[in-house]
């Protein structure tokens, strides 16, 4: 494929790419600073790409109204060594794409998700920083996603894994979140709309309707509402039942071997109004085969099913808990 090199400088434009096998890379100056695309809040997007085998790196994108980088419907996406600031809804946004790698990217000041992988398959987000956003890193309706060695801090919520209704992809499954530092995500929610506008401040990791996610070997600390939340779409109050064309319950999720410190110390009223206290782990009791192997972690409910439980006990506990939560809601 071809490579386009962008000389150091500041550019005020939108770059649209509809061909395949293309790499676009900035040439840093002597100080190592990258070229800048600055939309001056007059333009919607920094980069819009739809070709396969697309790579983009060593650039900064700032001050766009919708997205910093939007890649749609591509196979083979590599976004690396980038900085995105105040780019509207999303910083880095690969959607309906396959074989996606986002690495060494920093995103801040975004009204929805800093790094947002939507309706994609085989997507890796690694060695990234997300801070000052509503959601730091979000995987939505994505199959085989991975978030690793990232630092998510000072967002409303650090890392989110969602399945949302009314989209082409109907599943969120087989996500691995591991080896990340997820801390102090207590920023007031400043989203202009969408599901993320309902997320209470103070959440480290949130699994919403996700299936077969593994959350392990992360350091999750100082998130005031909860360290890890596992929730059903049906209990958010955000969706009408007739809208739900996806499996709304979180199922088969495994939470283990995380370091959880000082989470849930000042929970949002979203929880306390339901009589739920803040904790390291908050589960609404929904879904089957969710396991939590976190000795010493504070939790709601106080007893969480473990992987060592026999099936009959797990099933009985799920049933009792579901009944109890339905009464509560």
136, 151 contact by CB (below 8 A): no
d(CA 329, CA 326): 5
pLDDT of the residue at 28 = 98
162, 137 contact by CB (below 8 A): no
Residues 6+ apart with CB under 8 A from 13: 37, 43
pLDDT of the residue at 329 = 63
Contacts 24+ apart (CB under 8 A), 14-19: 14/39, 14/43, 14/44, 14/45, 14/46, 14/47, 14/48, 15/46, 15/47, 15/48, 16/47, 16/48, 16/49, 17/47, 17/48, 17/49, 17/50, 17/51, 17/54, 18/49, 18/50, 18/51, 19/51
Tokens of 320: 């009792």
Residue 100: phi, psi to the nearest 5? Answer: -110, 135
pTM of the model: 0.97
pLDDT of the residue at 272 = 87
Q: What is the pLDDT of residues 121-142, one digit of tens each?
A: 999 999 999 999 999 999 999 9
pLDDT of the residue at 241 = 81
205, 182 contact by CB (below 8 A): yes
Short-list 92, 129, 143, 87, CA closest to 111: 87
d(CA 287, CA 270): 21
Domain ranges of the chain: 1-88, 119-328
d(CA 72, CA 328): 42
Extract the residue ranges of the chain whose pLDDT is less than 70.
328-329
């Amino acid at each position: 494929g071809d490579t386009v090199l962008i000389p150091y400088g500041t550019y005020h434009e939108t770059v649209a790419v509809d061909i395949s096998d293309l790499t676009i890379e900035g040439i840093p100056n002597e100080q190592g600073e990258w070229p800048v695309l600055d939309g001056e809040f007059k333009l919607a997007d920094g980069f819009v790409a739809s070709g396969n085998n697309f790579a983009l790196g060593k650039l900064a994108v700032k001050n766009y109204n919708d997205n910093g980088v939007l890649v749609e419907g591509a196979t083979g996406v590599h976004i690396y060594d980038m900085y995105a600031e105040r780019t509207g809804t999303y910083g880095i946004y690969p959607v309906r794409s396959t074989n996606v790698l986002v690495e060494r990217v920093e995103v801040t000041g975004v009204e929805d998700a800093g790094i947002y992988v939507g309706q994609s398959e085989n997507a890796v987000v690694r060695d990234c920083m997300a801070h000052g956003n509503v959601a730091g890193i979000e995987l939505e309706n994505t199959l085989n996603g991975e978030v690793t060695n990232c630092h998510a801090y000072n967002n409303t919520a650090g890392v989110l894994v969602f399945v949302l209704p009314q989209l082409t992809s109907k599943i969120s499954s087989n996500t691995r979140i591991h080896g990340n530092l997820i801390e102090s995500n207590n920023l007031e929610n400043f989203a202009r709309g969408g599901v993320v506008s309902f997320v209470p401040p103070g959440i480290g990791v949130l699994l919403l309707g996700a299936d077969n996610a593994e959350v392990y070997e992360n350091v999750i600390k100082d998130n005031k509402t909860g360290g890890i939340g596992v929730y059903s779409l049906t209990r958010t109050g955000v969706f009408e039942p007739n809208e739900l064309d996806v499996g709304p319950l979180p199922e088969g999720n495994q939470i283990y071997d995380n370091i959880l410190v000082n989470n849930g110390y000042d929970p949002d009223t979203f929880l306390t109004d339901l009589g739920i206290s803040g904790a390291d782990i908050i589960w609404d009791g929904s879904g089957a085969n969710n396991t939590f192997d976190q000795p010493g972690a504070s939790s709601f409910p106080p007893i969480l099913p473990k992987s060592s439980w026999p099936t009959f006990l797990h099933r009985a506990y799920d049933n009792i808990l579901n009944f109890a939560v339905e009464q509560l809601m």
